[in-house]
Amino acid sequence: MMQYSAPAMIVNEATNCHDSGSNGLRGSVGGGAMFRRILNAVLLTLAAVLLALPAFADSQVRIVRLSQVDGAVQADRNTGQGFEKAFLNMPVTQGMKLRTNTDGRAEIEFEDGSTLRMVPHTIVVFPELSLRDSGAKATAVNVRDGTAYVNFTGKKDDEFTLSFAHEKVSLTKPAHLRIELGDTDATMAVFKGDVQVEGPSGGVNVGKKQTATFDLADQDRYALAKNLEPDPYDEWDKQQEQYHQRYTASNSYSPYSYGVSDLAYYGNYINAPGYGMCWQPYFTGLGWDPFMNGSWMWYPGFGYTWVSGYPWGWMPYRYGSWLFLPAYGWVWQPGYWTGWQPLPRVVNPPRQFVAPRPPASPGQTVIVNRGPLPGHGTPKRMIVRNDSAGLGIPRGSVRNLANVSQQVKQNGFAEPRVHNSVGSSSSISTMSPGVRSGPGATPMGRGAGPRMSAPHPVAPTHSAPTPHAPAPTPHR
């Protein structure tokens, strides 16, 4: 079992050195040019080894994303602690269990953009999340109780097996379906595609807009109806799917699809000279850093991983690098796609930055500052200011965040019109450092809770790079 007690990998491109602390090696090392060359070679070799460890480039380990958490959602990570509170952006690994309680809803995103959605009182287990030697992905999902929606995008050679009660479905083509388990029966309704179900009573093909009902008390004998009975959560599932379709269309910088729609909604790409296309969240200033809000979570098999509290905080913490560019602030540079990273990679941090460091003892969950915020629907009123980086803004609840970002840049805050988010519901959202909601809301400053990074000096803030900002120094 691998355990990590070192901080995030720090790369200082100005000196071509890697550092496990906050400032890197700076200036000359006494002893002449030969000694410096040898030292640099040793450091680069060590860095390459360390960087390879968390990337799991050659392993069979897969993770998928817990991409939405509304209300009471719990996860069993096989740590021996049973079900614990689940957080947005948690990696879901092989053998994990997820449970939604009375008001809980959850969404899981897979690498190819396939999704699984859970409504209240649902239990789902992930018996297999692995890679074949060929590189094909093998996924097994078992719906133990409740209601789940599956939207499978269908990718050649990948395996996706779905089971419920005594039934088994091997998805090979795109399909969108709903599974409901009751005390005496189970139903599968197909919205799109056609699905072959195998069970104790043989096989049955369920086509588009058809429903199969299985009698669990009578050897799972089935009845096939050529219609769909509506469910109260069908509209929620539909809204979620429309959100992903709308914002995933612009993806051209990642070979994966999970997390892409949230990057498109909560930020934009900029062309940083010397670095190429980089992504930056809206509502950030030079005093913001990517590790202000989140948590450290322990996973058997690979130790601690950083779980970002931001609603877009999946792909920028699993792949690529965080860069600090003086003219822009923090940006995420896509890349390092061959393996996901439990610990983030940071390039050229400012001197005051302290790398996020996981706890020394295994088995803990440590919240940093506000941590991941649970979703509780859409607030009726919202005031947004800088350095919130989207925290507390439900996905899809505000139209055109780019325009809101410019308003925040000019005025210091903005009060956008709030629409029903794709999470719907009418309860008030949990407050965040940069977002206030409800009657009499006023702009808030940053929270005063503990930080994982040292405070930056006060600097002018910005929400999106201005066209006339000085260009960053290209890396060499």
Query: Are 391 and 309 within 8 A, CB to CB?
Result: yes
Burial class (CB in 10 A: 0-12, 13-18, 19+), 428: middle
Section 372-383 average pLDDT: 64
User: Could you give the CA distance from residue 356 to residue 361 in angstroms, rounded to a whole number?
Assistant: 15
Instruction: Check pLDDT > 70 for residue 258.
Output: yes
- Return the residue matching tokens 């601690």: 304
Tell me: the pLDDT tens digits for 442-473?
333 333 333 333 333 323 333 333 333 333 33
Contact present, 282 and 404 (Cβ < 8 Å): yes
In eight-state DSSP terms, residue 374 is: P
pLDDT value of residue 253: 84
Measured distance CA(23)–CA(92) in Å, rounded: 33
Provide the pLDDT confidence category of residue 270 given band limits of 50, 70 and 90. very high
CB-based contact 302:296 (threshold 8 Å): no
Among 130, 45, 3, 53, which Cα is nearest to 345's? 53
Q: Could you report the per-residue pLDDT of 82-97, keeping only the tens digit for each?
A: 999 999 999 999 999 9
- pTM listed for this prediction: 0.80
> Is the confidence at residue 145, as pLDDT, over 90?
yes
Calpha distance 160→139 (Å, rounded): 5
pLDDT (average), residues 283-288: 88
Average per-residue pLDDT in the chain?
Answer: 80
Q: Which residues contact 232 (CB under 8 A, 6 or more apart)?
A: none
Of 274, 275, 309, the C-alpha closest to 290 is 309
Average pLDDT for 103-132: 96
Task: Report the distance separating Cα 355 and Cα 3, nearest Å.
Answer: 17
More confident residue, 431 or 105: 105
Could you tell me the pLDDT band of residue 302, with boundaries at 50, 70 and 90? Answer: confident
Q: Cβ atoms within 10 A of the Cβ of 383, count?
A: 20
How many whole angstroms separate alpha carbon 237 and alpha carbon 250?
22
Residue 360 belongs to some domain of the structure: no
Whether residue 228 lies inside any domain: the answer is yes
Contact 398, 444 (CB under 8 A): no
The answer to whether residue 424 is domain-embedded is no
Q: Are 212 and 182 in contact (CB under 8 A)?
A: no
With a pLDDT cut of 70, the percent of the chain lying above it is 73
User: Does residue 381 lie in a domain region?
Assistant: no
> For residue 370, what pLDDT is reported?
67
Selection from 86-95, 245-254, 355-364, 426-435 with the highest mean pLDDT: 86-95
Q: 437 pLDDT exceeds 70?
A: no
Domain assignment of residue 297, yes or no? no
Maximum separation of any 2 CA atoms in the chain, in Å: 83
pLDDT higher at 26 or 380: 380
Statement: residue 433 has pLDDT above 50: no
**Confidence (pLDDT) at 137:** 93
Q: Which range of residues forms the domain containing residue 83?
A: 64-239
Phi, psi of 45 (to 5 degrees): -65, -45
Among 111-125, 330-344, 444-458, top mean pLDDT goes to 111-125
- CATH number, domain of 200, equals 2.60.120.1440
Identify the burial level of 411 via C-beta atoms within 10 angstroms of its C-beta, where 0-12 means exposed, 13-18 middle and 19 or more buried. Answer: exposed
What pLDDT does 308 receive? 95
Q: Give the contacts of 284 (CB within 8 A, at least 6 positions apart).
A: 329, 330, 386, 387, 389, 461, 462, 463
The reply to whether 141 falls in a domain is yes
Specify the number of domains making up the chain.
1
Other CB atoms closer than 10 Å to residue 390's CB: what's the count? 26
| Buried b / exposed e along 321-334 (16+ C-beta atoms within 10 A) | bbbbbeebbbbbbb
For residue 430, tell me if it sits in a domain. Answer: no
- Look at residue 371 and tell me whether its pLDDT is greater than 80: no
The percent of the chain in helix, strand and coil, each rounded to the nearest 5, is 15, 35, 55
Mean pLDDT for 219-239 is 95
Instruction: Check residues 465 and 298 and name the one with the higher pLDDT.
Output: 298
Quote the pLDDT of residue 378: 57
The pLDDT of residue 21 is above 50:
no
